[in-house]
């Protein structure tokens, strides 16, 4: 594949909504490295600590929860901070959607993320308000399980994970639908160079009917007065403004929510949505549009009656498939869905479990003592090693590093039995 030819085709896509100067800036930055970002987990207060420890991290001017970094300078994905759930690594452009959405949503809005895996949009919205229930769904079961792994690492109790084909989702209504559709991904070519080889006009054409079908599904699940957040990582107007235009033509009870673009954001053609363009905005290519369905409709947000958990917790206990999960709350209207995980799992029910509790519970338990580890001890724990430790405590403990919860262990004869599940152990 001729890289220059592909880049020239992709630059051409911008002519529909960018001026010459903007296109030139884009072209001059096509070969620069992608901008990486992370969003801080609001459960912890580690921004100052991270900025101090990783001096190449840069704070965002727009979003105080966001930091930028260069992959070649710090491998943040392989740190104790990442494993402990201090942040979620995501493209800075992608996380701006929840920044706007959060301002528009009611405190108790029920959010349905139709194409959620690996969870970026749901997780970033959850960080901004841990009280709203977010149903994070993805058609791919394998990818939906990734959502749960992220939710578990970050200790989030307001994200429930399912894997339905959106076309077959039971008829539930939501106050907000996040619809981050499968797209041609032309905006991500700096981050994932193979996207460039993969891109073609045919790929765009193939995806258009899927996107418009998903838009219609989103419409059906949106209550009157609710908000739809549509997004792609495509630079093609056909997948972006034209999809929105067709949708608005078809659904005359829906209207654009116009947000004032901030500096370096490009207004979409006919003021339909916002483009974030690599090289212009500090992030990769994202398009998003916010739409409101007119009217006022109440949706059922009756909370289910909970049986009391045997453990002491302020979270709600929900029994699903005979297993207990802890979560912020569960509504009657969604209690009968097929879940991957309706919250964080409480008990480890595997046959030879050494620890009675599931690893997920270590992230939120309120009745188990904690032992703070040094950096070397924390690394050793994450590698799955047994650590020499002096403690009078002979019960189950949660091991922490800089207040981040890493997992369970038990001290016996000055040695820590390591209960970190094998699948989560890492070379660090
Ligand atoms: C852009 S990704 C979602 C990224 C996610 N929102 C995030 O922020 O991490 C699009 C998702 O759509 C799903 N998908 C692919 N084909 C689909 C289809 N035909 N119907 C519904 N979802 C589909 C994929 O499994 C993929 O996870």
What are the structural domains, with CATH classification, of the chain?
Answer: 3-293 (3.40.50.150), 368-428 (3.10.450.720)
pLDDT over 90 at 405, yes or no:
yes
Interval between CA 114 and ligand 1 midpoint (Å): 8
Residue nearest to atom 14 of ligand 1 (CA): 182
Question: Which of 181, 184, 207, 239 for mutating ligand 1's site (highest number of atoms within 8 Å of CB)?
Answer: 181
d(CA 275, CA 97): 11
Output the pLDDT for position 72.
82
Question: Which of 90, 91, 98, 117 for mutating ligand 1's site (highest number of atoms within 8 Å of CB)?
Answer: 117
pLDDT over 80 at 1, yes or no:
no
Ligand 1 binding pocket includes 167 (Cβ within 6 Å): no
362-377: average pLDDT: 96
Residue nearest to atom 10 of ligand 1 (CA): 182
| Residue 185 CB burial class (10 angstroms; 0-12, 13-18, ≥19) | buried
H or E element at residue 180: strand 174-180
Residue nearest to atom 13 of ligand 1 (CA): 115
Question: Which of 134, 151, 180, 182 for mutating ligand 1's site (highest number of atoms within 8 Å of CB)?
Answer: 182
Pairing of strands 222-232, 254-256: unpaired
Helix H segments across 67-200? 80-84, 92-104, 120-128, 141-154, 194-198
pLDDT tens per residue, range 191-207:
998 888 999 999 999 99
Interval between CA 118 and ligand 1 midpoint (Å): 9
DSSP 2-16: -HHHHHHHHHHHGGG
pLDDT tens per residue, range 84-112:
999 999 999 999 999 999 999 999 999 99
Output the pLDDT for position 73.
84
Query: Residue 128: which of 66, 57, 61 has the closest Cα?
Result: 66
Interval between CA 140 and ligand 1 midpoint (Å): 8
Interval between CA 398 and ligand 1 midpoint (Å): 35
Residue nearest to atom 27 of ligand 1 (CA): 117
d(CA 99, CA 336): 31
Interval between CA 314 and ligand 1 midpoint (Å): 34
Ligand 1 binding pocket includes 166 (Cβ within 6 Å): yes
Output the pLDDT for position 2.
86
Contact 356, 347 (CB under 8 A): yes
At 215, the pLDDT band (50, 70, 90 cuts) reads very high
State the pTM of this model: 0.97
Ligand 1 binding pocket includes 286 (Cβ within 6 Å): no
112-122: average pLDDT: 98
DSSP state of 398: E
Residue nearest to atom 15 of ligand 1 (CA): 182
Output the pLDDT for position 11.
96
- Percent of the chain whose predicted confidence (pLDDT) is above 90: 90
42-58: average pLDDT: 96
Output the pLDDT for position 391.
82
In sign, the C-alpha dihedral spanning 213, 218, 223, 226 is negative
d(CA 298, CA 108): 12
Residue nearest to atom 6 of ligand 1 (CA): 116
Report the chain's mean pLDDT, rounded to a whole number: 96
Residue nearest to atom 21 of ligand 1 (CA): 139
Ligand 1 binding pocket includes 187 (Cβ within 6 Å): no
């Amino acid at each position: 594949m001729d890289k220059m030819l592909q880049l020239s085709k992709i630059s051409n896509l911008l002519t529909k909504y960018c001026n010459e100067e903007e296109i030139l800036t884009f072209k001059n930055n096509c070969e620069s490295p992608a901008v990486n970002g992370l969003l801080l987990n609001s459960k912890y207060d580690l921004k100052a600590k991270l900025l101090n420890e990783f001096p190449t991290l840069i704070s965002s001017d727009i979003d105080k929860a966001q930091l930028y970094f260069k992959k070649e300078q710090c491998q943040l994905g392989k740190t104790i901070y990442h494993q402990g759930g201090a942040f979620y690594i995501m493209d800075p452009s992608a996380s701006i959607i929840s920044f706007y959405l959060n301002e528009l949503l009611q405190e108790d809005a029920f959010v349905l993320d139709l194409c959620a895996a690996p969870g970026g949009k749901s997780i970033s919205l959850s960080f901004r308000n841990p009280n709203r229930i977010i149903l994070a769904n993805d058609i791919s079961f394998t990818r939906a399980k990734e959502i749960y792994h992220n939710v578990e690492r970050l200790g989030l109790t307001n994200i429930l994970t399912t894997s339905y084909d959106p076309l077959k989702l039971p008829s539930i209504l939501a106050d907000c639908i996040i619809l981050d559709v499968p797209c041609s991904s032309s905006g991500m070519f700096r981050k994932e160079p193979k996207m460039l080889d993969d891109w073609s006009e045919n790929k765009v054409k193939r995806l258009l009917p899927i996107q418009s079908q998903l838009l219609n599904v989103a419409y059906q699940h949106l209550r009157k007065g609710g908000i739809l957040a549509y997004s792609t990582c495509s630079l093609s107007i056909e997948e972006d403004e034209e999809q929105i235009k067709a949708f608005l033509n078809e659904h005359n009870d829906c209207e654009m929510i116009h947000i004032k673009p901030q500096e370096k954001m490009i207004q979409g053609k006919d003021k339909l949505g916002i483009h974030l363009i690599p090289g212009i905005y500090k992030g990769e290519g994202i398009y998003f549009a916010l739409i409101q369905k007119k009217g006022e409709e109440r949706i059922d947000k009756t909370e289910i009656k909970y049986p009391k958990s045997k453990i002491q917790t302020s979270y709600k206990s929900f029994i699903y498939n005979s297993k207990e999960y802890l979560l912020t709350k569960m509504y009657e209207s969604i209690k009968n869905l097929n879940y991957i995980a309706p919250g964080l799992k409480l008990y480890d029910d595997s046959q030879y479990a050494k620890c009675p509790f599931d690893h997920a519970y270590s992230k939120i338990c309120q009745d188990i003592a904690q032992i703070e580890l040094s950096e070397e001890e924390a690394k050793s724990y994450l590698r799955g090693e047994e650590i020499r430790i002096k403690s009078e405590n002979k019960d189950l403990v949660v091991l922490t590093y800089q207040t981040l919860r890493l997992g369970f262990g038990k001290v016996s004869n000055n040695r820590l039995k390591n209960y970190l599940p094998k699948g989560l152990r890492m070379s660090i």
